[in-house]
Every structure is written in structure tokens, then in C-alpha cells.
Amino acid sequence: MLDPLHRIVKEVNAASDLQEVLQIIVQQVKQTIEVDVCSVYLTDFERRSHVLMATDGLRLEAVGKVSLPYHRGLIGLVCERAEPVNVADAPSHNRYLFANETGETQYKGFLGVPIIQNPKVLGVLVVRQIEMRTFADNEVTFLFTLAAQLAGAITHAQASGQLVTSEETAPPKRFLQGRPGSPGVAFGTTVVVYPPADLDAVPDKKVQDPDVEEEEFRTAVAAVIQDLMALEDRFEDSLPAEDRALFDAWLMMLGSDSLIGDTVQRIHQGHWAPGALRQTIEEHAKVFDAMEDVYLRERASDVRDLGRRILMHLQQSVESQVEYPQGTILVGDEVSAMQLAEVPKDRLAGIVSARGASFSHVAILARALDIPAVMGMSDLPVTRMDDRFIILDGYVGRVYVSPAPSVLQEYRRLAEEDRELSEELQVNKGLPCETTDGVGVPLYLNTGLVSEMNTTGIEESAGVGLYRTELPFMVRDSFPGESVQVANYRKVLRTLHPRPVIIRTLDIGGDKPLPYFPVEEQNPFLGWRGIRISLDHPEIFLTQVRAMLRAAIGLNNLRLLLPMISNVDEVDDALALIQRAHDELTEEGYDVSMPKIGVMIEVPAAVYQVEGLARRVDFLSVGTNDLTQYLLAVDRNNTHVADIYSDLHPAVLRALIQIVAGAKTYHREVSVCGEMAGNPATAVLLLGMGVESLSMNSGSLLRVKWVIRSVSKARAKALLQAALRCERASEVKALLVNALDDMGLGGLIRAGR
């Protein structure tokens, strides 16, 4: 059933609204598994009933009118158990409920699967058969998969106000739920961004001038025709005639009235050219998808390939025309750092990404830029989100689409309180970062580009606690040479002089690939990354270390940091290479000095070897993002397990305590440079553990300073002891939230006071 499943899922994703989704599901399911009836019941939580919302086989006049009791009948049993109910003879079941008005009393075979969303049962997808029938396992899983597709569409419909099952007024606070990415509240207009040449990701947009859109479309088609003719000529001598026939087939499609005419017709119905093309290509491809003949069915991929070629040419002209209104909220299936950089900074208000989690790269970048963000919104109907007014709550990970006036008014009030709080934060500028009992806690800056460092970051930080060297590598098309790197590092060292700057050696791999140095692995976070790549490619490592040492000449504020250390051999090998780079430069006449060297503790193995590592280096820097990920076996970019990821997990807290204790054996300083350091609540716990310094994005500096200046070291230790008595991360979080509320600082971690 894989082929029909893929076909139905594509149709569902292309549907314009929930009602169309429901009709596609009931019609296609009935046809695919050959049943007499397919219906969808949605749960009305206010009236505690299940409403028939779509059917193919029952009485159509019952749709929207028939409501079944919440905990009665087989539908109620499916919801109660939150699992499939498969009954060969439904009327004989003790939970069977007769519903004469639907006309289903004649049916015996029954299969109902729950429509579940985190982990609420939103409704039931049901199939019925006149004869007795026990449905096969593959039929059950088929319905289960489609029910998951339905869950996302229902959630969006509820959030945007499309779906009101009750006759009463729907509750005003409907929203889409994701993961907090970057704190703050934003109001603005959505601009959907999508990867190039990806037809499925093209959003729907309306146009004012169809004639201009048609001209651009025909220009793109003409360009593709030229490309194909050139390719055909190029392969004339090297490909047999039957293989070159594909080019002729493509050219025939482009010359047909059907493909071109259907797209132009959609354009003149008000659709922009890429969206009209997407709909036309999918419509044509579906014709081939449905064919019995395997060869003809494969032609669907040729149609889609042709669509991508046209789209590539269309995008070349569209890219330069993208308009970012004031208050732009970027929305995408997976918003990238490059897409973020294309928006003028004064116009970017927020980010909503269907993929990613609170600790993914874009979320971290959003926090650095002090831009509210919501991540991991897997139910987001990206293609239907362009040019919508939304409210974004980055504190709790919510998005309100076309919000009700009462919701807008409430968030305007909360935003005003946020603004007032930001003004109060300015009072702490220039004041020492120390506890109420006089313990100093230096706050450092995380950055990857000098241009990221705003005035507040430069003035308030005690230096740079983490300079990510991979960002300057990622924006190039080849490895930067030694002189280019010297200029980059010298700039940041001079900007912060005489304060220390901790520069991390190249940490590529995982979620940070280089376009010119691809690392293809099934599990990149457990693979070839960080120091492992550097030691396997000493020429890259030595060039970078040489550049760092040369950049620090006369400034002497460089500290060097080694990432992804998992054993002492890696440290010994890296130290030997650093010494070699130093000796080479000295022989060449450069007056270089050996900097302090530290290692990142972000792998569980390093926690249990912390004393051996501390004996070899000058300081330790804890990367709590990766350490949490590896301790909990949770990919921090995976939305499916985002609920499990928490740096407040008791195991994480105990690992941090062990790191601090091990470092003290050799009197080594411990800093935390992960997101835990920039959170005002968790910063208090780190203070209680004895962490000497914290490093964070510039947007967090004043917030963390305020909380540290409001608490004593003794109270921080007491809070830590209370946290260690908790068995759940949620309990630790509640403890810290209450503590900040008691200090009158709850507004540091939520919208409003």
C-alpha cells in the first residue's frame, strides 16, 4: 500500500483547507482498501461528543449534525483506548451504539483508528463493511499513517479558526504549538522561505498583475526549452537514440497546451507563477501515479523533474523581487541561517520553523540576534502561511494565526511589559556582575562573527567565551587561507583587547557541514566531527592554529579551545600539533607566544575523564547543548523527541557537578558556554555548583547579570540542593520559576511580568 499512501499524502499536503483534506481522505481510503464506508469523526471537547465531519458511504445530510456521546459506542472506545478497534461484527459488540440517522446500522465490519496529536485524541478515522470483516494489519497501519496526516491538518484548522465543531462560539485563544526557540513576543506579517527548486515547498501567493506573472512563466519555459535542446545536442554522440528520447518527451510536454495552458489559467485565477506551476505539475504527475503500467507510472518523476527545471529559472527572477515588509516573520519548513541573513535586520521581527528544536543552530542564532523564534512546529501548513498576520510567543513556543482581537490586545499588553522590562535592564549596564554577597561571576560573549557583537555585548562582557570559527568557513566556497584567517581572528582579538578571547578550533560536522567539504553520514552527531576531523586533517588544523597564534602577536589575549574531546589521546595529539605550529612560527621569525589551552566537555566520556583532561590543559569549557544531547540520547534538532531534551534533567545536573569537582582537583577554571549559561533561571544553578564564569549570546547578558545581582551564592547553593532532590526536569523547572517569581524576576523567562 506504499504507492497509494504516498499519493494520498501528497494530495493532502496540497489541499487548500481542512474540508478538502477530509474529502480526499474518505474518498481515497474507501477506494484503496475497498470498503463500503469511510468517515471521519472529530472530537468536540466542549460538548464532549464526536461529530461526523466527512463521509463517503453514509448519509451526507448527517455531516456536521450527528454527534455521538463522548465515552459511548465504538467511536468512544477508540478515543478511550487511544488505539485501533477492529471488530468483525460491530452490532454484536457490547459497546456498539446505533446511529440510525447516519444509515450505518446495516454495516458489520468496523475499524476505527484514533487521530492523535501530542498525545490528545482529536477524532477517529473509521471504515465500515456491510459483510463481516476483520481488517488486516497492513490496512490498520495504512489508516494509522493517514490519521497522523489528519492530525496536523486538524490542529492547524483549529488554530486558524477554520474548524469550530461546536455551535457555540469557539474559544478565542486558538494557537499552533511548537518549541520555544528564542524568547520574546513578535507581531508581524509572514514571509514564507523555501529551498530552491523544491516544488513541494512553494507556498501559495496571490498576485496583482497576472500578465507580468505569465510573462515570467513563459520566459522560464523558453529558458528550459533552450537548456533541453542544448543537452540533447551535447549527448547526441554519446547516448543512444532511445535514451535521448527523454529530451524529446520533455520538449513535447513544454510544447503542449495542457501543461502550459493549465498553469497560465491558474495564474489568471490569481496565483503567482511558482504556485500555479506546483499545482499543475502535481495534477499532471498524479495522472501517471495512478496508472497500472509500471513504466508509465515512472513517468510521474519525469513530470516533476521538468517542473523543478522550470521552477529554477522562475526563482532566478523571483529572488530579486522578494519584499520583506516591516515586521517580517520568516516562516519555513526549515529556516536556514542564510535565509535569515537575507532579511534587512531592521525588518526582521521573528522566525517560525517547522523543523528544528530549541537548541538547533538557527534558534541559537535567533537568540544571538535577540529575535523571537518558535521551532519544531511540525503541524505548520507552510505552503498556506504566506502573507498572514500572526503573533509569535517565543517564551512558550506558540503562534496565533489571524488572532482574535482579545488575544491581540492581551499580547500588546504583555509586549509593553516586555518593553518596560528591557528598559529596566539598562539600569544594570556598567555595574559589576556579582552576587549580593560579593561573589564575582564574569559574563562572556558567544559569537561567530565580529559583526554579531553589538555595543551591549562589547561593553558588558568580560571577553569572548566562545568564538565559533566555523561560521567564517561556512560562508565561503573553499577553505580560507592562513592570511585570511589571521585577519578574521586579529579583528576580534583587537576589538576585545585586553579582555580574553577564547577561540574554538574548527567544529564542523553534525549540524554544521561545509558545502565544499561534505560529510555524509547516517548519524552525523556520533560520527566524524569536531576534533576528530581536525586530527585526521592536520593540514587544516595546523593552518588554523598558525593563524590564531599570528593574530595574537602583540595582543596576547588569545585562549585556544578544543571541541568534541572524548579521550586524553585526542588532547595529547592536539597539544603536540599546537606546539609544532608554535615552533614553526618561531623558526620563521614570528614573535608568537603559547596561549592558554582548554577543552570542551560535551561528551559523556569526557565527564568521567575530567581529572585526566584537567591535568593536561589550563581550563574547561562545558558545552551543555551537546552534553545534554549525548547524556539523554536525544537529537536536539529532532522535534519528535524535543519533549525529552532538557538541560534540567537530574542526570545533566549531576554531570555538571562532577565536572566542577574534577576540575578543582587541579585548580582549573570551569566555564559554561552552552545555552544553559544564557538562561537566567539555570544560571543560578550553575552559580550554586561553583562554575566560575558563564558565556552567552549578547541578548542574554543583561538578563543574566540582573538575576546574579539579585541572588546570593548561599541561596544559589540552597536552590541547587533543592533541585538535586527532584526526580524530573519539570520539577526542577517549576522550582526555578517559583524562585525567580519570589525575587520579582519572573518576567526574565516569560512574556510580561
pLDDT computed for residue 704 by the predictor? 95
pLDDT computed for residue 315 by the predictor? 79
Instruction: Please name which of 628, 627, 508 lies closest in space to residue 566, comparing C-alpha atoms.
Output: 627
pLDDT computed for residue 550 by the predictor? 98
Q: With a cut of 90, say whether residue 244 has pLDDT above it.
A: no
Q: Which residues pair with 514 in a beta bridge?
A: 517
Instruction: Report the distance separating Cα 442 and Cα 463, nearest Å.
Output: 9
**pLDDT bracket for residue 753 (50, 70, 90):** low
370: cell is 535577540
Q: Residue 167: which residues within 8 A CB-CB, separation 6 or more?
A: none
Q: With a cut of 90, say whether residue 235 has pLDDT above it.
A: no
Q: What angle do CA 728, 734, 737 make, to 5 degrees?
A: 145
Mean predicted confidence (pLDDT) in 64-89: 88
Task: Give residue limits of the domains in the chain.
Answer: 2-160, 176-195+326-405, 199-321, 439-748
Phi and psi at residue 710, in whole multiples of 5°? -105, 0
CB-CB contact of 393 with 183 (8 Å): no
Q: With a cut of 60, say whether residue 335 has pLDDT above it.
A: yes
CB-CB contact of 631 with 651 (8 Å): yes
Phi and psi at residue 147, in whole multiples of 5°? -65, -35
What tens digit of pLDDT does each residue of 259-273 get?
Answer: 888 899 999 998 999
One-letter amino acid for residue 627 of the chain: L
Measured between its terminal Cα atoms, the distance across the chain in Å is 53
pLDDT computed for residue 171 by the predictor? 39
Q: With a cut of 50, say whether residue 574 has pLDDT above it.
A: yes
pLDDT computed for residue 423 by the predictor? 85
Q: With a cut of 80, say whether residue 99 has pLDDT above it.
A: no
The domain defined by 199-321 folds into: Enzyme I; Chain A, domain 2 (1.10.274)
Using only C-alpha atoms, the chain has a radius of gyration, in whole angstroms, of 30
The domain defined by 439-748 folds into: TIM Barrel (3.20.20)
pLDDT computed for residue 162 by the predictor? 58
What tens digit of pLDDT does each residue of 404-454 get?
Answer: 888 899 999 988 888 888 888 888 899 999 999 999 999 999 987 665 566
What tens digit of pLDDT does each residue of 668-685 get?
Answer: 999 999 889 999 999 999
Q: What angle do CA 710, 714, 720 make, to 5 degrees?
A: 95
CB-CB contact of 12 with 21 (8 Å): yes
pLDDT computed for residue 148 by the predictor? 82
Catalytic sites, residue numbers: 361, 673
Averaged pLDDT score across all residues of the chain: 86
Q: With a cut of 90, say whether residue 113 has pLDDT above it.
A: yes
Instruction: Please name which of 582, 685, 677, 544 lies closest in space to residue 621, comparing C-alpha atoms.
Output: 677
Share of the chain above pLDDT 90, in %: 47
Q: Residue 174: which residues within 8 A CB-CB, separation 6 or more?
A: 158, 159, 160, 161, 400, 404
User: 101-138: buried (b, 16+ CB within 10 Å) or exposed (e) per residue?
Assistant: ebbbeebbbbbbbbbbbeeebbbbbbbbbeeebebeee
Mean predicted confidence (pLDDT) in 290-306: 67
Q: With a cut of 90, say whether residue 61 has pLDDT above it.
A: no
What tens digit of pLDDT does each residue of 464-494 get?
Answer: 999 989 877 766 667 889 999 999 999 999 9
pLDDT computed for residue 692 by the predictor? 96
Instruction: Report the distance separating Cα 434 and Cα 443, nearest Å.
Output: 10
Mean predicted confidence (pLDDT) in 286-294: 67
Task: Tell whether omega for the bond before 498 is within 30 degrees of 0, i.e. cis.
Answer: yes
pLDDT computed for residue 167 by the predictor? 39
CB atoms within 10 A of CB 529: 23
Start-end of H helices in 161-256? 210-234, 241-255
Q: Indicate the length of the chain as a whole number.
A: 753
User: 280-311: buried (b, 16+ CB within 10 Å) or exposed (e) per residue?
Assistant: bbbbbbeebbeeeeeeeeebbeebbebbebbb
CB-CB contact of 414 with 744 (8 Å): no
Which of 379-383, 424-428, 665-669 ranks highest by mean pLDDT? Answer: 665-669
- Looking at the whole model, is its pTM more than 0.75? no
pLDDT computed for residue 364 by the predictor? 73
Phi and psi at residue 531, in whole multiples of 5°? -65, -25
CA 201 to centroid of chain Cα atoms: 15
Q: What is the 3-state secondary structure (H, E, C) of 472-523?
A: HHHCCCCCCCHHHHHHHHHHHHHHHCCCCEEEECCCCECCECECCECCCCCC
Cα distances (Å, whole numbers) of residue 228 to 248, 306, 524, 586, 725: 9, 10, 37, 58, 69
CB-CB contact of 161 with 170 (8 Å): yes
Q: With a cut of 90, say whether residue 461 has pLDDT above it.
A: yes
363: cell is 534558534
* Range scoring the smallest mean pLDDT among 13-17, 207-211, 582-586, 725-729: 13-17
**pLDDT bracket for residue 318 (50, 70, 90):** low
CATH of 2-160, one of 3.90.550.10, 3.30.465.10, 3.90.1150.10, 3.30.450.40: 3.30.450.40
One-letter amino acid for residue 150 of the chain: L
Share of the chain above pLDDT 70, in %: 88
Instruction: Report the distance separating Cα 149 and Cα 749, nearest Å.
Output: 34
**pLDDT bracket for residue 17 (50, 70, 90):** confident
DSSP states of 279-324: HHHHHHHHHHHT-SSHHHHHHHHHHHHHHHHHHHHHHHHHGGG---
Cα distances (Å, whole numbers) of residue 715 to 704, 722, 730: 16, 11, 21
Longest alpha-carbon distance in the chain: 95
pLDDT computed for residue 653 by the predictor? 98
Whether domain 176-195+326-405 has CATH 3.50.30.10: yes
Start-end of H helices in 564-689? 568-587, 604-607, 610-616, 624-632, 650-664, 680-689
Instruction: Report the distance separating Cα 184 and Cα 393, nearest Å.
Output: 6
Mean predicted confidence (pLDDT) in 28-45: 91
Query: Which DSSP category does 355 fall into?
Result: S
Question: If 0-12 CB within 10 Å is exposed, 13-18 middle and 19+ buried, where does residue 690 land?
Answer: middle
46: cell is 466542549
